[in-house]
């Protein structure tokens, strides 16, 4: 069967396949695809349905032969070994000697980025939290073991020192002298990212019209960045903080995408901007 499929792809569709990644597998045994295990599951469970209108309890069978995505065990073991968390099979954490010279907060933030990244990648899996639980446990234990080795105390003492309620936290002082708390990533509080409603909307390309250049270069160009007028007197529109930009107007999107708090405008466009009518004078590109 595989030979026939390969011949069809080569002769009819003019496609080449990778031998090491291709094959025919039984649906219930599953196969690896993009780091997931694609597997067919079926159950014979009966679910009770309570009907409020008639107060009748009915039963129905669950959907059989459902296609599921599973977290692969070998990838978890390989990730754990690559990061130096310890022995994945025996749940034995180990400290990371190369991280001892790094600040405690930097170690925590690096571990958070790694754990949150792999959790978000496997968010589509049907057994996401259950499949990642073992890896997250040994990763958190490795974090405590690294700090214990750094400060020359036991792992239990480190856990007791950093534990605040149910969280493992590192507290530092800001420049103003105020305490700031950094919390270690926990799978229990993790929520899989939800798809956005505007995925298929046309992306904004207003920021692509201008390159990244200095303020002097943009002033010397003698071109209004709104209407395209050349020559004359120009003014600089300035915002205090980028987070103050709402992103509703096209000029706000331009400044936000370019990470610039300034925009070169002619006198007419600058007046219209403060009047909330700049969109009517936008140059068509």
Q: Based on the structure, what is the number of domains in the chain? A: 3
**Average pLDDT of span 7-22:** 81
Band of pLDDT at residue 200, cut at 50, 70 and 90:
low
Q: Are 138 and 115 in contact (CB under 8 A)?
A: no
In this structure, are 65 and 85 located in the same domain? Answer: no
CB atoms within 10 A of CB 222: 14
Residue 52 domain flag:
yes
Q: Are 184 and 163 in contact (CB under 8 A)?
A: no
In this structure, are 46 and 79 located in the same domain? Answer: no
**Average pLDDT of span 4-17:** 84
Give the pLDDT score at 285.
36
Band of pLDDT at residue 42, cut at 50, 70 and 90:
confident
In this structure, are 85 and 61 located in the same domain? Answer: no
In this structure, are 97 and 178 located in the same domain? Answer: yes
Query: Has residue 112 got a pLDDT over 50?
Result: yes
- Given CA atoms 31, 32, 33, 38 in this order, what sign does their dihedral have? positive
Host domain of residue 265: 207-281
Give the pLDDT score at 139.
93
Tens digit of pLDDT for each residue in 142-180?
Answer: 999 999 999 999 999 999 999 998 899 988 887 787 888
In this structure, are 174 and 220 located in the same domain? Answer: no
Ranges of beta strands (E only) in 116-166 are 163-164
In this structure, are 171 and 77 located in the same domain? Answer: yes
* Final residue of a structural domain among 35, 70, 105: 70
Residue 196 domain flag:
no
**Average pLDDT of span 63-71:** 78
Instruction: Give the whole-angstrom CA distance, residue 38 versus residue 259.
Output: 42
Ranges of beta strands (E only) in the chain are 31-33, 36-41, 46-50, 57-61, 66-70, 86-87, 92-93, 163-164, 167-173, 179-183, 234-238, 262-266
**Average pLDDT of span 200-211:** 58
Residue 243 domain flag:
yes
């Amino acid at each position: 069967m595989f030979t026939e499929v390969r011949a069809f792809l080569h002769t009819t569709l003019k496609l080449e396949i990778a031998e090491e990644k291709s094959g025919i597998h039984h649906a219930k045994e599953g196969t690896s695809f993009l780091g997931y295990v694609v597997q067919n599951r079926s159950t014979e469970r009966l679910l009770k349905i309570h009907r409020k209108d008639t107060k009748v309890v009915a039963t129905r069978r669950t959907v059989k032969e459902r296609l599921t995505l599973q977290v692969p065990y070998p990838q978890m073991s390989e990730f754990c070994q690559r990061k130096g968390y310890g022995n994945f099979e025996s749940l034995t954490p180990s400290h990371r000697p190369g991280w001892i010279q790094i600040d405690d907060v930097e170690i925590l933030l690096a571990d958070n980025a790694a754990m949150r990244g792999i959790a978000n990648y496997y968010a589509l899996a049907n057994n996401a939290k259950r499949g990642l639980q073992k890896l997250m446990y040994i990763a958190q234990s490795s974090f405590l073991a690294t700090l214990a080795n750094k400060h020359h105390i036991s792992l239990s003492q480190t856990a007791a020192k950093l534990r605040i309620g149910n969280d493992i936290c590192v507290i530092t002082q800001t420049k103003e002298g105020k305490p700031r708390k950094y919390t270690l990533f926990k799978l229990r509080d993790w929520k899989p990212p939800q798809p956005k409603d505007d995925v298929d909307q046309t992306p904004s390309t207003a920021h692509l019209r201008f390159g990244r250049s200095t303020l002097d270069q943009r002033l010397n160009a003698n071109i209004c960045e709104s209407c395209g007028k050349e020559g004359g007197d120009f003014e600089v529109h300035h915002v205090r903080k980028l987070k103050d930009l709402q992103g509703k107007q096209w000029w706000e999107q331009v400044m936000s995408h370019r990470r610039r708090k300034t925009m070169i405008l002619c006198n007419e466009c600058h007046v219209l901007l403060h009047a909330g009518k700049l969109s009517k004078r936008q140059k068509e590109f």
